[in-house]
Amino acid sequence: MNSKNYIETEDRYGAHNYKPLDVVISKGHGVWLEDVESNKYMDFLAAYSAVNQGHCHPRIVNVMKEQAEKLALTSRAFRNDQWPLLAKELCELTGYEVVLPMNSGAEAVETALKAARKWAYQVKGVENDKAEIITCDGNFHGRTISIVTFSPEKQYKDGFGPLTPGFKMIPFGDAQSLEKAITPNTAAFLVEPIQGEGGVVVPPAGYLKKAKEICEKNNVLFIADEIQSGLGRTGKMFSSEHENVEADVVTIGKALSGGMYPVSAVLASKEVMDVFEPGDHGSTYGGNPLACAVARESLKVIVDEKLCERAEELGDYLMEQLHKIESPHVDFYRGKDCGLELF
Q: What domains can be seen in the chain, in order of their start residue? A: 1-44 (no CATH), 58-304 (3.40.640.10)
pLDDT at 334: 43
341 pLDDT band, cuts 50/70/90, is very low
Residue 162: cis peptide before it, omega within 30 degrees of 0? yes
Phi/psi region, residue 231 (left: phi>0; alpha: psi -120 to 50; beta: rest), is left
CB 307 within 8 A of CB 53: yes
pLDDT at 336: 46
pLDDT at 145: 95
Contacts (Cβ under 8 Å, ≥6 apart) of 30: 54, 55, 57
Arithmetic mean of pLDDT, 147-158: 93
pLDDT at 327: 81
pLDDT in tens, 62-108: 999 999 999 999 988 999 999 999 999 999 999 999 999 999 999 99
Burial of 191 (0-12, 13-18, 19+ CB in 10 A): buried
DSSP string, 275-290: T--TTSS--SSTT-HH
328 pLDDT band, cuts 50/70/90, is confident
Q: Which residues are catalytic?
A: 140, 225, 254
319 pLDDT band, cuts 50/70/90, is confident
pLDDT in tens, 22-31: 999 999 999 9
- What strands, in cross-sheet order, belong to the sheet with 98-102? 98-102, 264-268, 249-252, 221-225, 186-191, 132-136, 167-170
Q: 316 pLDDT exceeds 50?
A: yes
Cα first-last separation, the chain:
35
